[in-house]
């Protein structure tokens, strides 16, 4: 969805909304999209962000990461004075009745969520509270029980002083790369609280969204978020398992997917076989969910299997490459895709981060291309594999990345790969081989041009 600035300016600012101040703590994906989206809707949005470099960019209307259309919403909101910045949580809490907590919740080495940042925020909010009532909404992804802990932490930090607030849990379901669309068209709005009236009040902020609103308990909201991501991850590992079966026979997983997904009880979404799920959410939330299960002595076997199946995808893909090429030493391999999926520059937990160093270690020379992810990948390689940096070349042109190449490995699903001119690419390569880890190309068309084509779960000769 592209909304033009002229359109934005024409929207009548609802006087009531203009006077409603919403404070956002943390300008990451969720925080920044929420801020820009609510500002677009007409609210008066304030942001606090601790990372000074990031904040500097945001203040200039520059989005610190690539997310389609977000920069435009950001710039417009700032220009229209609907989005402003505060130096600290104290000022934000003082000015706003509604506070949205959107700080990161990374996981620790033991697989549990790190509550450090949330605890700091609880303390700072506690130290900022005065007499007027505050509605504190947690939007970060958290384990069940967090909202209640957050409440308790604020009360503790108040050290017996009056604490006039309520905590609400409102998980976010937006996808990177589709964040703006998802913000304005959420499949559902989940609001969890001990206090129904406050939950209702928060739901009214979203009254002009055309989406179902569900008011539940704090813990239910938290579980809904983790369970949703776990279900999506399960679907992907399910289809990847079936892809392994498909490869053992003369079958194509794409036909099988269609045959399964046409059952409306199953559906097509998240049934795309490939090299596994990555990103900052699905892998992390799955690991953390397993920890929560273990913590409560509940058998996490289903989710452990989902995780193992996902991790195996890397090995399966590397074997596919080696089987296709016979020898990879001193060969140029072109890898298309370092971000964990299309339309984002986010490389966190991207399968390519494991695949590229493994192939490089075995002596391959890797030409890497990605429409947006190269800068993040360069930092990653320099930090983690400086000894490979001579054999891993980052190339900013898709065609150039294929010159003298022995094979193209497709590791994410940007549209640009589908639109490329494969007749040209055929001429540029040493041996025209494509190993498509995301099943995005049409096998018949590609083979027709003269390529040897391998994909996931497809054993049709
Ligand atoms: C995911 C959820 O989809 C969002 O609803 C949620 O809000 C978000 O996590 C979060 O918790 O913040 P996201 O991480 O942006 O969103 O990515 P997805 O679109 O879910 O894709 C995750 C991974 O699964 C990608 O690597 C993608 O390539 C892979 N995938 C997806 C498949 O391998 N097959 C599919 O059929 C779909």
Closest residue to atom 30 of ligand 1, CA basis: 277
- Quick one: which atom of ligand 1 is closest to the CA of 233? 24
Q: Which residues of the chain have pLDDT under 70?
A: 1-16
Task: Verify that 210 and 268 share a domain, yes or no.
Answer: no
Instruction: Find the 451 Cα to ligand 1 centroid distance in Å.
Output: 30
In a domain, 33, yes or no: yes
Pocket test for ligand 1, best of 31, 185, 230, 236 (most atoms within 8 A of CB): 236
- Quick one: which atom of ligand 1 is closest to the CA of 438? 33
Q: For the sheet containing 392-394, what is the strand order?
A: 392-394, 365-369, 332-336, 407-410, 433-436, 452-455
In a domain, 263, yes or no: yes
- Buried-state track 291-323, b at ≥16 Cβ within 10 A, e below 16: bbbeeeeeebeebeebbebbeebbebbbebbee
In a domain, 16, yes or no: yes
Nearest 5°: phi and psi at 409? -110, 120
Query: Quick check: is 281 catalytic?
Result: yes
Cα Rg, the chain, nearest whole Å: 24
Per-residue confidence (pLDDT) for residue 4, from 0 to 100: 35
Q: Which of 174, 180, 176 is nearest to 344 (CA)?
A: 176
Instruction: Find the 297 Cα to ligand 1 centroid distance in Å.
Output: 28
Residue 449 contacts by C-beta under 8 Å, 6 or more apart in sequence? Answer: 422, 423, 426, 432
How many domains, in total, are found in the chain?
2
Q: Which of 63, 96, 102, 281 is catalytic?
A: 281
Nearest 5°: phi and psi at 20? -90, 120
Per-residue confidence (pLDDT) for residue 14, from 0 to 100: 58
Task: Verify that 267 and 208 share a domain, yes or no.
Answer: no
Pocket test for ligand 1, best of 106, 138, 227, 279 (most atoms within 8 A of CB): 279
Closest residue to atom 7 of ligand 1, CA basis: 173
In a domain, 44, yes or no: yes
Task: Verify that 175 and 97 share a domain, yes or no.
Answer: yes
Closest residue to atom 35 of ligand 1, CA basis: 270
Task: Verify that 180 and 276 share a domain, yes or no.
Answer: no
Number of H helices, E strands in the chain: 19, 14
- Quick one: which atom of ligand 1 is closest to the CA of 178? 15
The residue among 190, 216, 242 that closes a domain is 216
Element (H, E) at 388: none
Closest residue to atom 31 of ligand 1, CA basis: 270
In a domain, 192, yes or no: yes
Instruction: Find the 13 Cα to ligand 1 centroid distance in Å.
Output: 34
C-alpha pair distances (Å), 325 with each of 92, 96, 333, 355, 409: 58, 61, 10, 15, 12
Q: Which residues line ligand 1 (CB under 6 A)?
A: 141, 172-176, 229, 232, 236, 270-272, 274, 277-279, 281-282, 340-341
Closest residue to atom 28 of ligand 1, CA basis: 341
String of DSSP letters for 175-214: PTTSHHHHHHS-S-EEEEES-HHHHHHHHHHTTTS-S-EE
Pocket test for ligand 1, best of 286, 341, 370 (most atoms within 8 A of CB): 341
Q: Tokens 């049709």 map to which residue?
A: 460
Q: Are 48 and 100 in contact (CB under 8 A)?
A: no
Closest residue to atom 25 of ligand 1, CA basis: 277
Domain extent at residue 419: 259-455
Instruction: Find the 179 Cα to ligand 1 centroid distance in Å.
Output: 12
Task: Verify that 195 and 63 share a domain, yes or no.
Answer: yes
Task: Verify that 66 and 201 share a domain, yes or no.
Answer: yes
The CATH number of whichever domain residue 179 belongs to comes to: 3.40.50.720
Nearest 5°: phi and psi at 80? -85, 10
Instruction: Find the 277 Cα to ligand 1 centroid distance in Å.
Output: 7
The residue among 216, 233, 267 that closes a domain is 216
Closest residue to atom 29 of ligand 1, CA basis: 277
In a domain, 348, yes or no: yes
Task: Verify that 144 and 32 share a domain, yes or no.
Answer: yes
Nearest 5°: phi and psi at 431? -130, 120
Task: Verify that 203 and 282 share a domain, yes or no.
Answer: no
Task: Verify that 267 and 403 share a domain, yes or no.
Answer: yes
Element (H, E) at 306: helix 301-325
In a domain, 231, yes or no: no
- Quick one: which atom of ligand 1 is closest to the CA of 236? 34
Residue 107 contacts by C-beta under 8 Å, 6 or more apart in sequence? Answer: 113, 114, 284, 287, 288, 291
The residue among 194, 216, 238 that closes a domain is 216
Per-residue confidence (pLDDT) for residue 6, from 0 to 100: 41
Can you tell me the distance from the alpha carbon of 122 to that of 157, in angstroms, rounded to the nearest whole number?
Answer: 8
Can you tell me the distance from the alpha carbon of 27 to that of 104, in angstroms, rounded to the nearest whole number?
Answer: 9
In a domain, 415, yes or no: yes
Task: Verify that 195 and 306 share a domain, yes or no.
Answer: no
Instruction: Find the 5 Cα to ligand 1 centroid distance in Å.
Output: 29
Per-residue pLDDT tens for 305-342? Answer: 999 999 999 999 999 999 999 999 999 999 999 999 99
Q: Are 245 and 273 in contact (CB under 8 A)?
A: no
- Buried-state track 66-95, b at ≥16 Cβ within 10 A, e below 16: bbbbbbbbbbbbbebebbebbeebeebbee
Classify 113 as helix, strand or coil. strand
Can you tell me the distance from the alpha carbon of 57 to that of 50, in angstroms, rounded to the nearest whole number?
Answer: 13
Closest residue to atom 34 of ligand 1, CA basis: 272
Task: Verify that 298 and 177 share a domain, yes or no.
Answer: no
Task: Verify that 11 and 80 share a domain, yes or no.
Answer: yes
């Amino acid at each position: 969805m592209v909304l033009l600035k002229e359109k934005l300016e024409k929207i009548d600012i609802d006087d009531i909304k203009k006077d409603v101040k919403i404070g956002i703590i943390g300008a990451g994906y969720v925080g920044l999209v929420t801020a820009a989206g609510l500002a677009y809707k007409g609210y008066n949005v304030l942001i606090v962000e601790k990372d000074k470099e990031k904040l500097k960019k945001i203040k200039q209307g520059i989005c610190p990461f690539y997310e389609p259309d977000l920069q435009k919403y950001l710039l417009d909101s700032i220009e229209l004075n609907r989005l402003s910045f505060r130096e600290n949580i104290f000022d934000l809490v003082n000015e706003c009745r509604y506070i949205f907590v959107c700080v990161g919740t990374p996981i620790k080495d033991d697989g549990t969520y790190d509550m450090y940042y949330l605890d700091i925020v609880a303390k700072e909010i506690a130290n900022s509270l005065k007499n007027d009532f505050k509605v504190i909404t947690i939007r970060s992804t958290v384990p069940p029980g967090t909202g209640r802990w957050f409440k308790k932490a604020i009360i503790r930090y108040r050290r017996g002083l009056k604490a006039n607030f309520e905590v609400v849990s409102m998980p976010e379901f937006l996808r990177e790369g589709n964040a703006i669309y998802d913000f304005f068209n959420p499949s559902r709005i989940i609001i969890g609280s001990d206090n129904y009236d406050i939950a209702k009040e928060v739901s009214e902020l979203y009254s002009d969204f055309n989406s179902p609103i569900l008011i539940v308990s704090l813990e239910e909201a938290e579980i809904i978020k983790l369970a949703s991501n776990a279900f999506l991850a399960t679907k992907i590992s399910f289809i990847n398992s079936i892809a392994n079966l498909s490869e053992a026979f003369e079958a194509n997983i794409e036909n099988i997917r269609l045959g399964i997904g046409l059952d409306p009880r199953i559906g097509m979404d998240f049934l795309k076989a490939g090299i596994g799920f990555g990103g900052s959410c699905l892998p992390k939330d799955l690991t953390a969910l397993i920890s929560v299960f273990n913590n409560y002595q509940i058998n996490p076997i289903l989710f452990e299997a989902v995780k193992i199946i996902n991790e195996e995808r890397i090995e399966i893909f590397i074997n596919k490459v080696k089987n296709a090429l016979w020898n990879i030493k001193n060969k140029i391999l072109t890898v298309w895709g370092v971000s964990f999926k299309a339309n984002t520059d986010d490389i966190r937990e991207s399968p390519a981060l494991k695949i590229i160093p493994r192939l490089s270690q075995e002596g391959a020379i890797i030409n890497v291309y990605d429409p947006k992810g190269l800068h993040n990948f360069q930092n990653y390689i320099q930090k983690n594999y400086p000894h490979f940096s001579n054999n891993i070349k980052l190339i900013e042109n898709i065609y150039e990345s294929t010159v003298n190449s022995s094979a193209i490995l497709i590791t994410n699903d940007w549209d640009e790969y589908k639109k490329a001119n494969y007749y040209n690419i055929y001429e540029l390569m040493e041996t025209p081989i494509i190993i498509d880890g995301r099943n995005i190309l049409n096998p018949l068309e590609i083979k027709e041009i003269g390529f040897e084509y391998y994909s996931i779960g497809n054993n049709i000769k």
